[in-house]
Each structure stands twice: as C-alpha cells, then as structure tokens.
Amino acid sequence: MVEDGTPLRRAETPIPGLTVWDIPVHGDQRGWFKENWQREKMVAAGLPDFGPVQNNISFNKSVGTTRGLHAEPWDKWVSVATGRVFGAWVDLREGPGFGATFTVEIDPTVAVFVPRGVANGFQTLEPNTAYSYLVNDHWSSDASYTFVNLADRTLNIPWPIALDRAVVSPADAKHPPLSPSLGTPTKKTLVIGRNGQLGSALRNLWGGARSVDYVDRDELDITSTGLERARVWNDYSVVVNAAAYTAVDAAETPTGRRDAWAINAAAVENLARICRRHALTLVHVSTDYVFDGDSRRPYREDDPVCPIGVYGQSKAAGDLAAQSVPSHFIVRTSWVIGGGTNFVRTMARLADDGKPVKVVTDQLGRLTFAEDLAAGIAHLIDERLPPGIYNVTNAGEPTSWARIAQEVYRARGQNPELVSGISTAEYTESRTETRVAARPAYSVLDLSKVTSSGFTPADHLERLATWMRENLREAGTSARHGSDR
C-alpha cells in the first residue's frame, strides 16, 4: 500500500452519532503506517472525546467469519489492522431511529465511531483479517447488553457471504429478532441527595421518569473510595450533586469540620474524577457562602471567592473540583427554602403560637425556593447551555431575614411587630451555648447570566406568599414538619 493522500475526514450516516472516518495511510515498499487513534486531531475534526479505556483486537482466520449483532453499553472506535471487513450497524436505541441500519466496507483506510446502543456486526472479506476497537468502559456483569439476529428479515442486511455459508457462532445464530423490547434506554440523569430540599424538588419536577435515578447516601456514598465501582456510570449522561453538608455552625466544630470537607470537597472531587473519565455532565450546587459578603453590588459568576467560614471554604473547594469536569454547571444559590425544616416553617410555627421573635436585620439577600432552583437546573440541562458557573436564586428586591419573618407573621394573621430586629453581632453574643459561624452580610447574586439564557425566576417575596399557601396548614395550626436531609 502506498500513501493515498486522503485527509482525515468524517462522514455522517443515517444513524445519528454513527460516523465513518477516512484515515490517512502512509506506505512504501516496506509496508504502511497510520495513526489509528490520535485524540487531538480526531476531536478537532469532530469526533466525540469519548475517553477510551480498553483496546480489543479480533483476529479472524477465515473469509466469511461473521460476528454480531451486538449493542454494548459503551462507545466504540472500530478500525481494521489488516484485511477487509463488511460492517453492519443497527440503531437499537429507544426513539424514532430504532431499527435504522447502515453498512459499509472497512479496510485500513476507514474507521467507524459507534455510539452506545448501536449494534454492530462484522463479516470478514479476506483471510487472516484483524480489526480492533477502542471502548470507553470495561466489561461488567452488571451492564446491559442487547443483541439482534444477524439474519433478521426486517433488517434485511445484505451480507456479502450468505449466512448459511458463513462462519457464525451458535450463540450469535440464536440472537432474538428485532423487537421494540430490545431498545437500549437513553442515557439517564442521576440525582444524588434524593431526600434533601433540592432532591425532593427535583423528584417533584421530573417525577417517575425512567430517564432519572435518585439515590441517597445509603444507596450511593460519594465519599467512598469504591465510588467508581458503585454504578454503571456509562448508563448516565448527567449527574446532579444535590448532596451537601449544610450545618453551618456545626462545621466550625472538629467533627463538623471533618464532615464538611469530606462531603463538600473530597466527595465532589470523587464525582468529578468519574465525570471526567466517563464524559458526564456534572451539575454541582454551590452557595453564596463562598463570598465574604463585603460586596456593595450583587455577586457575579466571575467574582473571586473569599469564604469566611468552614462551610463556605469547603464549598469553594468543591467548586474548584467541579470545574475540572469539561462539561459542568456550578449552580450558585442562596437562602434555600423547600421541604423539611427551614426558616419559613420555623417562623410560621412561632407566629401560630403568637410568640415574639428577634431576627437579624443586617444580612441581606433573596430567598430561593427549591422548586425554582430545580427548574433552573433543568433549564441549564435542557437548553444545553455552555459549561460554567450560573447564579440561580429567586428575583426581586433583596431584603433581610427580619423582613422575611415579618412577612411570614403577617401571612399567618399575626402582628408583624412581634418580629423585632437584632444585629448579627447581638445575635451571636446571645447564642452563648453554641458557636455561631460567620455569615455573609450581603448574599445577593447577580442573575443577569441565567436570565439572558431565557430563565426568568419569580420574585422571592411573591413566591413566599404562594409557597406558604401551598405548603403550610392554615394559620392557627402548627406548621408541618419533615426531614430536610
């Protein structure tokens, strides 16, 4: 084989994601040479950066050796080392393309990228043919493999050598015919922290969709050194990390400090490593506590972080870990209100009991309702926005915790003057029984980036009134309680 002068180039096929590649081959009287896999050039030319971890070679002694049709739960890069192969592919992924076919002859100048869920079959056209394939996951007994019969009449694949004269293994000959039941499910979203305020809101938003899995710490411990083996990660395309250590005051204690760093920082690096390896999108929820609160304008996504307590420091470290994932969304939020125990529920209970309360007046911010935060996350994913940091809170005029408490008292039919103001310093001095962590005095996040993408969050005080009507019993009875995490 002599140098053919063919440039590296890609051709699309009727099967979405299945691409055929011309590969330059350089040869002389001694033989030939090609760059069978060259990540930088191929990714630049449009190949997905699919992260192969294993290289397999199939040697076939006889003409007519036929294998398939197999759909594995990973992506493949298939190429021929020597000889010629007839290749056939069938789209077995759920959706409108199910059952679509494509065939092409492959020699050393041609390679094919095969996405997960597309079945492939090969028939050798020359003796002593060898072909190889790079894959981006290791074989696992827990993985789901799909097969379809080589001779299925619905597919009508034009095998060059009739199957009754070909070399076919007994197992391949017994594969089932094409049926919708064979469909490979689309890749799923994994939500970590199913029972927290955000996890519960995401379950309410996405419901029981087959495309979403929800786990808690008992089902998936993201601090574990065995996290890589805990799931078949190639079954997913998106991981939403809604788990966090949020006990701000307890984080200042020796035990709390250790737990905060384990969950908010080290565990995020665990997830980031897996997402990098399997080319997953990581959605990581951050906080206003990564800032010191000394700003006089809303914090933008590109403002440098400057946390003043252990909780904020551990979250800032987790943000840095999440940014190492090429496809990442870091969602900064503040003052989250959702299911379980929270500030609004506590104020409602005190209002119903007619108790006076002192609440800080010198911390300013906006509430974020978990349902709206969940909707913002879904927007980032569904719209396939550019990776990066996005501030997502409710909108409206920033206010103090004391003002919010007064609004709760008013909504419960109580005199808002039962809520009196107190400074953060006075509140800290009054809490002699426990250590009170430093908190940002100004927690307002700039929403320009997310609103320009088409997401418009509601006013936080208007949502407060709606949320109370929908989530709390009528005034005069105790507010409902639940588990936060």
Phi/psi class of residue 340: alpha, beta or left (left: φ > 0; alpha: ψ in -120 to 50)? left
Tokens of 466: 């709606």
Cα separations in angstroms, 233 against 36, 187, 216, 282, 307: 27, 10, 16, 12, 33
484 falls in which pLDDT band (50, 70, 90)? very low
Please give the pLDDT value at position 430: 86
Whether the per-residue pLDDT at 324 is higher than 70: the answer is: yes
Over residues 251-272, the mean pLDDT reads 97
Whether the per-residue pLDDT at 256 is higher than 70: the answer is: yes
Classify residue 407 by its DSSP letter.
Answer: H
54 DSSP β-pair partners: 135
Please give the pLDDT value at position 5: 61
Over residues 127-155, the mean pLDDT reads 88
4 falls in which pLDDT band (50, 70, 90)? low
Whether the per-residue pLDDT at 206 is higher than 90: the answer is: yes
d(CA 231, CA 239): 12
d(CA 126, CA 59): 11
Helix or strand holding residue 292 (H, E): none
d(CA 50, CA 48): 5
Whether the per-residue pLDDT at 478 is higher than 90: the answer is: no
Please, where are the H alpha helices in 431-483?
A: 448-452, 460-471
pLDDT single digits (tens) 30-56 = 988 999 999 999 999 999 988 898 999
Please give the pLDDT value at position 2: 42
Cα separations in angstroms, 86 against 55, 130, 178, 184, 278: 20, 12, 21, 24, 30
Characterize the bridge pairing of strands 419-422 and 357-360: parallel
15 falls in which pLDDT band (50, 70, 90)? very high
Task: Give CA 106 to chain center in angstroms.
Answer: 35
Whether the per-residue pLDDT at 108 is higher than 80: the answer is: yes
Task: Quote the strand ranges of 184-307, DSSP E.
Answer: 188-192, 212-215, 236-241, 281-287
pLDDT single digits (tens) 368-410 = 999 999 999 999 999 999 999 999 999 999 999 999 999 999 9
Instruction: Please list the active-site residues.
Output: 70, 133
Whether the per-residue pLDDT at 18 is higher than 60: the answer is: yes
Over residues 301-329, the mean pLDDT reads 97
Whether the per-residue pLDDT at 483 is higher than 60: the answer is: no
Please give the pLDDT value at position 475: 63
d(CA 389, CA 405): 30
In sequence order, the 6+-apart residues with CB closer than 8 A to the CB of 143 are 72, 73, 137, 232, 234
d(CA 246, CA 256): 10
Over pLDDT 90: what percentage of the chain?
82
Taking alpha carbons only, the member of 130, 88, 137, 89 closest to residue 107 is: 130
Taking alpha carbons only, the member of 87, 84, 113, 89 closest to residue 102 is: 89
Map out the domains of the chain with their CATH numbers: 9-182 (2.60.120.10), 188-471 (3.40.50.720)
Q: Which is higher by pLDDT, 26 or 303?
A: 303
Whether the per-residue pLDDT at 485 is higher than 90: the answer is: no
Whether the per-residue pLDDT at 473 is higher than 90: the answer is: no
